[in-house]
Structure 1
């Protein structure tokens, strides 16, 4: 634990809950209104397109039969462009269209078993005649009739495959990952509402009937997934003579509730036929190359380590998902949970070969040391290690994941093994990425699996943002490629090719980037960074998918040095040791010391954040991992160099996220800084609001005093994901955001803004809005081009004068409907609010504690009455 005050976090009190006062639903577009005004023309266009698509499909199927292609037992894929305000599930209900994927700009890929599109054409005809119930046709702006399916291919193929597509070799064998939707046309019906004069018995009967129907829908989704998995396997293996790469325990696919992903090998002829004609495909991509950058290290001299002892029996366990660990290492051995060690690599690797074979000084061993020791190996006297380390080896001796393993399946196997194990592990370090920037079309199977695991289990996965290599092939670019093209540091860090690497875009993983220690220039070498806390030259940056702030935090992972000359060189020469993190080194490949400063990377920044997470589990063992993530982000600060008006804050948020976390701020309070937190598992349904109240003592807001008060708020939540949806609000079953009371706004006024059933006061929303750094729109905060509510970690902060503080500072947590129509669908969340007197002029902890205790008594009394 850090030195200083060890005051407990205060409880954040929920004042009340109720239906949320949400904003207006989106309005239909002008194009939709125009279609309603000219029904004849719009209906004629859709009729023509539907007729063309149906005839093309019949012609293609006749040709496929003549060429002996396999029977796909499916209908046809349609590409629609719809009004973005339209609920896509209406397409399922009215036309029996299965929603394959939602895309940007209103494009939706749907599938129809009926090639003649009878129900669709009937509705179009009805729309032309103004038949009641056909108004939805106005919101269908276009049906794509291109026989070559160019736009559909562009939406489902990766960029690389789309460019390659015209030149696919029909005899060559291709390995690809395919995403297949499997939701069918059934959906959960609306929950019944009690009618006037309806008896309790009759209402109970209708509720029971609805509940049974809901169960049937869920069962139908699971059955369809099994059916489609077998169907695709049959087509690929028996129809095209291809093969399915086994995922785990002979399972052919990795599944989410709405879809499955399968790795196949098939010749070009079969691949083209399958992609063109199987209507339930939403993604076809080449497998990621998962291979960590190799060390350029120059080891130093041997150093004598201090005496260390095993952690306490009940200490937190941290699972290192990596290249294995040198378990006999003198600095780690007492903390290794050897009975749990396991190798997940396929034969000829043995399940018991868990050593770190990566040359010259290991990778997983270094990561484990950073989790255990944090910034520096302990040197003074005996030291009891704080955590147990578990060793999950998934990388081979070349620090690579074999193509025969799907990373989404591997991480599920690891999480389930250790979370269900004797120590019920909750914290996992995953310093592994693909070597290319993440795609933005859909959440990857790997990242979505992490999101699903965090939804299912109370776990925390600390994930690296990924490293830029020296050189890379297009569409990627390495550091030297950027420099050769005239893109200088740090500007190349926000290039498209420098975006966080898969699975760093995962919403639920806490993604960590890297910053440099200092400026260095000597002996012909110099650092890229010119100040402490500058982004590392290799650290990948944001924004992530759907403009989410990624990485969320950064830690010290060091900096490459460059040797300018006729040809720029990159390296980690021994004379620049102060620029590299101190790491435990594997001694399996001597010579070399047990620890040294000789390598850099985001791989070694992430475990320092894991170190904080494990301390939080030690201090708050009964709290959910969502709270650990919340407190880590809450503790993060931008470094000193950002505190000037000349700084490009958009570039800062993209490279540093919310900043560098701090163990002391995350785990303790002081006289001058107080953090209030929710406790235990807290959940919210769509359409509901939880209102939290923080009483501000008079001593903090006395007139005449102008102390600077830093106010920080962090929300972290988790909900169930769907890969086939292509924006934040449809990717999650329920999405959540927050809003705060204004300066000078009364509690009753804020309640009327937050809760639906509260009557609005005449002076509702009176008072000034806090000048938040981010706010809820990209043009409302101090940081242009970014907003706080784009992801599932939502932090914001503001500095106000003490006399401006309101009597009560309130936060409303708002639940919104995502993809799920199930009224029981919910999101789990944690919330933290902090106040800090920047100049330390007055103490605030005790007065805040007393005010919270008084409010707690008041709220309990209200409940009793």
Structure 2
């Protein structure tokens, strides 16, 4: 049966959620501390901490007052059993000004986690007193005093630079050799750091990135000099190796010169003055290309460093110009082959963030990205735009943990809470030869590149439908990827730790590779996209692919949504791309073969939610109606000195109940997508409850058909309790959802419920509720009273039912129904 045409606009709601008082139970660590021989354990720790404090006081007495700045103090490194890692939070003490600054990631085979705290000199005896009380005093219940903390400490020592180093130790610079360090500075101490660094002749990069509790700068120093800086200041929280040196390895084979480019130019209709833009953060672009000139004004080209110029360069293989062609036209080949007019609904902006002659020193690319975005916005402050970033770095990846660059991207998207931005970021490509035997296992083992571990942007991977090889030079060659499957160079988040976001969110066409059965695969012209060449005086077109091309296609589609619905929030546009995505047949077969939730998650981390579609993103049909809700809630409130959860929103949407009941047992679908942005608070401190990365998290739940509203509320509270206890998605399982518990990673959640129309008829309430984040756990940062806005997308689908579910919704809303 033919599907009904998509010719009806989605329903759009602003607000409408009924705020209800809501409190999720506060998490209490119920695990008992390890059994200890009380006196013996106390004596061991007393000896260790006594030696550490004696040595710390010796070093404090030797501080160079010509260099020193900030509060006198020292760092202690504690060893905690890996199974008890949540206990690192108890090492902090605000009245004593003791701060947890760094927690080194647990490595394979390591049974302990190393946590480092800064201790002011005035609090030097704090832990000694805690240990003595554990040894000698009991609580009213007869337990050793301070047992919850002291019994979980394996050992303690005076910390060194290496204690603050949270990257892989293999990246630690060799002694005596200067290196660029990424220095994470404690809140409010940036000027202290700069003061001491200047007196130690430590070279600093000019720019810095600022987060709620950390500032990040780049410093050139040896390990020994960095040790002196740490000993003579209270500024350093964490050290990493500077690694934002982006690399782009693209096999851009030349396409045959097209003779009919002028025909296409004659059919192009330039965008109007208020059209939105795709802003490409890359290597610049050559506006002289005749296909780019209609959509790219000279005034809309910028560079991070004005001395670089705005044009593209051979050093980067014209990558920015190639991005521009796809971002502006999408599939250029289709535009060339058809005779219809090509109306450009959006324009281009370019910001050159890559230097024209390569990059030798690392840079703080979070700051460079921010500067580039600021320049584009200063030129046209009211223009709606989507930023597109396909520049990525493979150095120092850490299974999904944030980098300074990814955190800066999240901060730019969040925009301080009042200036949200939509960004599309490429997932990154495999490096080196593509071997047929390694596909797709290698893709699952090589993780998404920085900054694509960010939570807020739309992260795009690549799939491919290109399998047809016609060029005679490649007779007998075969494509690597089957139609509809992952593009051979696309990275995934298959090896990431479970709490980090699903990456990619979606996939777009990225071309395919081919092989002759003997040698490594190649990205041949037949299996790639066509785009604009950066030297149009030589040739107009070249081939393009991988996740760069996919990201440009994603930005193109996002701009199409903005052009059609300019009133929508960035969160909503991002949500619509995910909501409109579907898995291809090849992807669905792999999902269907998944026998467990873990196997489903592996597929989700490979393909995301599938391939978006502009028609589905913008238009409903009579048998497929989409409701777009933009709303906000106040997730937290202050109760004395404690921050508690405050409100959930209950949405009672116009529901085609009678029409669904009439369908009885016929199968229908409910698609739900929740999209919101978080405020990041990065820094390697174990990512425990108090040190969560995200400001807040939201979840959705749908009332079940035999469930009362009161039972629904109780289930939501149970789900929140499970989340607080570390059971991600603990309350969302079962009940005919395709993904269930595994959907709740990151800041966009999407799932499909399948069942009978009669059962869906009574699923007429949706709850959006908060779970904890650092806004709640860190009251001193004064974010607890912030509003959290979100977009909720709901689609009711009755494919093949030959029934109109759109009109009943429209009648309840009293909105005009488009003529058929």
TM-score class normalised by the smaller sequence = 0.7 to 0.9
Aligned to 1:76: 74
Spell out, residue by residue over 1:626-682, the C-alpha distance to the aligned partner (whole angstroms, 9 max, x if none): 011111111111111133333553432121111111111111111121111113666
1:302 is matched with which residue: 217, 233, 258? 258
Distance in 2, matches of 1:340 and 1:115, equals: 56
Structure 1 residue 670 and structure 2 residue 621: aligned?
Answer: yes
Equivalence map 1:340-489=2 (5 Å): 340-345=300-305, 347=307, 349=308, 353-358=309-314, 362-376=318-332, 378-379=335-336, 380-397=339-356, 400=358, 403=361, 405-425=363-383, 426-436=385-395, 438-440=397-399, 442-456=401-415, 457-470=419-432, 479=434, 488-489=438-439
* Contact 2:284-2:320 within 8 A present in 1 as well: yes
Shift of 1:176: 2.0
Aligned to 1:235: 196
- CA gap 1:691/1:12 in 2 versus in 1, 3 angstroms: farther
Distance in 2, matches of 1:825 and 1:135, equals: 37
Aligned to 1:138: 148
Aligned residues: 747
Distance in 1, matches of 2:175 and 2:484, equals: 49
* Contact 1:20-1:815 within 8 A present in 2 as well: no
Aligned to 1:845: 806
* Contact 2:90-2:149 within 8 A present in 1 as well: no
Shift of 1:444: 0.8
- CA gap 1:755/1:836 in 2 versus in 1, 3 angstroms: same
Distance in 1, matches of 2:806 and 2:14, equals: 14
Aligned to 1:528: 480
Distance in 2, matches of 1:15 and 1:294, equals: 48
Distance in 2, matches of 1:816 and 1:130, equals: 35
* Contact 2:429-2:489 within 8 A present in 1 as well: yes
Aligned to 1:857: none
Shift of 1:88: 3.1
Shift of 1:376: 3.5
Per the normalisation by structure 1, the TM-score is: 0.79
Shift of 1:28: 2.7
Aligned partner of residue 571 in structure 1, secondary structure: coil
Spell out, residue by residue over 1:793-817, the C-alpha distance to the aligned partner (whole angstroms, 9 max, x if none): 1111122122221424322111233
Aligned to 1:737: 699
1:571 is matched with which residue: 519, 522, 530? 522
* Contact 2:67-2:232 within 8 A present in 1 as well: no
Spell out, residue by residue over 1:515-561, the C-alpha distance to the aligned partner (whole angstroms, 9 max, x if none): 1123356425332102x221111101014563320111110011222
Aligned to 2:452: 504
* Contact 1:46-1:142 within 8 A present in 2 as well: no
Distance in 2, matches of 1:773 and 1:155, equals: 43
Shift of 1:715: 1.0
Aligned to 1:112: 119
Aligned to 1:205: none
Equivalence map 1:796-807=2 (5 Å): 796-807=751-762
2:665 is matched with which residue: 706, 710, 732? 706
Aligned to 1:168: 174
Aligned to 1:312: 272
* Contact 1:354-1:392 within 8 A present in 2 as well: yes
Structure 1 residue 55 and structure 2 residue 54: aligned?
Answer: yes
Aligned to 2:204: 244
* Contact 1:694-1:852 within 8 A present in 2 as well: no
- CA gap 1:139/1:381 in 2 versus in 1, 3 angstroms: same
Aligned partner of residue 541 in structure 1, secondary structure: coil
* Contact 1:470-1:570 within 8 A present in 2 as well: no
* Contact 1:325-1:365 within 8 A present in 2 as well: yes
Distance in 1, matches of 2:541 and 2:796, equals: 39
Aligned to 2:603: 652
Q: 666-675 or 681-690: which moved more?
A: 681-690
* Contact 1:746-1:808 within 8 A present in 2 as well: no
Distance in 2, matches of 1:535 and 1:614, equals: 24
- CA gap 1:688/1:137 in 2 versus in 1, 3 angstroms: farther
- CA gap 1:636/1:711 in 2 versus in 1, 3 angstroms: same
Aligned to 2:818: none
Unaligned ranges ≥5, structure 1: 183-224, 248-252, 472-478, 757-765, 777-786, 855-865
Aligned to 2:165: 156
Aligned partner of residue 253 in structure 2, secondary structure: coil
Q: What do you get for the CA RMSD once the two structures are aligned? A: 3.4
Structure 1 residue 661 and structure 2 residue 612: aligned?
Answer: yes
Distance in 1, matches of 2:630 and 2:270, equals: 30
Aligned to 1:5: 7
Spell out, residue by residue over 1:71-117, the C-alpha distance to the aligned partner (whole angstroms, 9 max, x if none): 78641212343855669378323543123135667754321112762
- CA gap 1:136/1:696 in 2 versus in 1, 3 angstroms: farther
2:184 is matched with which residue: 179, 184, 188? 179
Structure 1 residue 19 and structure 2 residue 27: aligned?
Answer: no
Structure 1 residue 255 and structure 2 residue 210: aligned?
Answer: yes
Per the normalisation by structure 2, the TM-score is: 0.83
Distance in 1, matches of 2:582 and 2:712, equals: 29
- CA gap 1:52/1:774 in 2 versus in 1, 3 angstroms: farther
Structure 1 residue 602 and structure 2 residue 611: aligned?
Answer: no
Q: 331-340 or 819-828: which moved more?
A: 819-828
Aligned partner of residue 702 in structure 1, secondary structure: helix
Aligned partner of residue 535 in structure 2, secondary structure: coil
Aligned partner of residue 603 in structure 1, secondary structure: helix
Aligned to 2:642: none
Shift of 1:392: 0.7
Aligned to 2:675: 716
Q: 403-412 or 741-750: which moved more?
A: 741-750
* Contact 1:437-1:499 within 8 A present in 2 as well: no
Spell out, residue by residue over 1:732-789, the C-alpha distance to the aligned partner (whole angstroms, 9 max, x if none): 2222222222232233432454479xxxxxxxxx99952222223xxxxxxxxxx111
Shift of 1:121: 3.0
Distance in 2, matches of 1:674 and 1:438, equals: 41
Aligned to 1:863: none
Distance in 2, matches of 1:670 and 1:719, equals: 33
Aligned to 1:809: 764
Spell out, residue by residue over 1:593-638, the C-alpha distance to the aligned partner (whole angstroms, 9 max, x if none): x335x22121110121111211221222122100111111111111
Spell out, residue by residue over 1:320-344, the C-alpha distance to the aligned partner (whole angstroms, 9 max, x if none): 1111111122112121132132111
Spell out, residue by residue over 1:683-724, the C-alpha distance to the aligned partner (whole angstroms, 9 max, x if none): 644432111123432344326733321211111122321112
Shift of 1:254: 2.0
Shift of 1:423: 4.2
Structure 1 residue 836 and structure 2 residue 800: aligned?
Answer: no
Aligned to 2:246: 290
* Contact 2:322-2:532 within 8 A present in 1 as well: yes
Aligned to 1:321: 281
* Contact 1:744-1:806 within 8 A present in 2 as well: no
